[in-house]
Amino acid sequence: MSAPLAVLRPEPGNAATCARAAAAGFETVSLPLFAVQTVAWDVPRAADFDALILTSANALRFAGERLSGLTALPVLAVGPHTAAAAREAGFDVMAVGGGDGAAIAALAVSIGVKRALHLTGRDRTLSAGGPIAQVIPVYESAAVPVDPVRVQALVGSIALLHSARAARRLADLLDTAGIDRATLALAAFSPAVAAAAGVGWAAIASAATPDDTALFAAARSIADTRGR
């Protein structure tokens, strides 16, 4: 395909997505909009919960040594990459869900989970309630300065949106730089992420499942439509 993929997620996910995209035959433009960092948190008693909900592998990467106190909890993970990271960290993955946080909460209900612990970032979609007994942020994504020249380099690309926050920031950066949104297309992790970007883009497609393979398929569908 002729249009490169703009990879906007923070490291270490940025490099991983770029590598997967290259293996799939795509050219990429790397422009992390955020940097992920650990936040202080207190580990609760694992015995107070019946499952651990993870919507991002970042919760595993940045939770630190305290995470070892929760490995007795079975994991419900969003997407295969989060599930794989949970297994590598020593967890038993009981279910892998597609879609967004709301979908994994619904899955938790369907399999009888009643008191789940959700480890997540400060910017999150799920709150305590229903099958989720407690939500604990263990990391945060801090916005990093972005050179306007690098923003201009995104023109003509298909931007990959892994989060609603990235969608909103990309829109703000383009608007501030006076760049027409119609010069970019978007491939988003979910319809909710796509909606966060607003309107005016050249094209928008959402991934069928929350993983890079499906995201690339969404990007390819945009390229195929443009080529007709």
Mean pLDDT computed over 132-148: 95
Mean pLDDT (the chain, rounded): 93
More confident residue, 203 or 223: 203
pLDDT at 102: 81
Q: Say yes or no to pLDDT of 1 above 70.
A: no
Q: Say yes or no to pLDDT of 194 above 80.
A: yes
* pLDDT band at residue 160 under the 50/70/90 scheme: very high
- The tens digit of pLDDT for each residue in 50-109 reads 999 999 899 999 999 999 999 999 999 998 889 999 999 999 999 998 767 788 889 999
What distance, in Å, lies between the first and last C-alpha atoms of the chain? 13
**Is residue 25 classed exposed, middle or buried when 0-12, 13-18 and 19+ CB atoms within 10 A define those classes?**
exposed
Q: Say yes or no to pLDDT of 145 above 60.
A: yes
More confident residue, 1 or 154: 154
* Nearest Cα residue to 37 out of 1, 61, 67, 13: 61
pLDDT at 124: 74
pLDDT at 127: 87
pLDDT at 103: 85
Lowest mean per-residue pLDDT among 12-16, 184-188, 197-201: 12-16
* pLDDT band at residue 210 under the 50/70/90 scheme: confident
pLDDT at 227: 57
Mean pLDDT computed over 129-137: 95
Q: How far is CA 51 from CA 2, 163, 212, in A?
A: 44, 24, 26
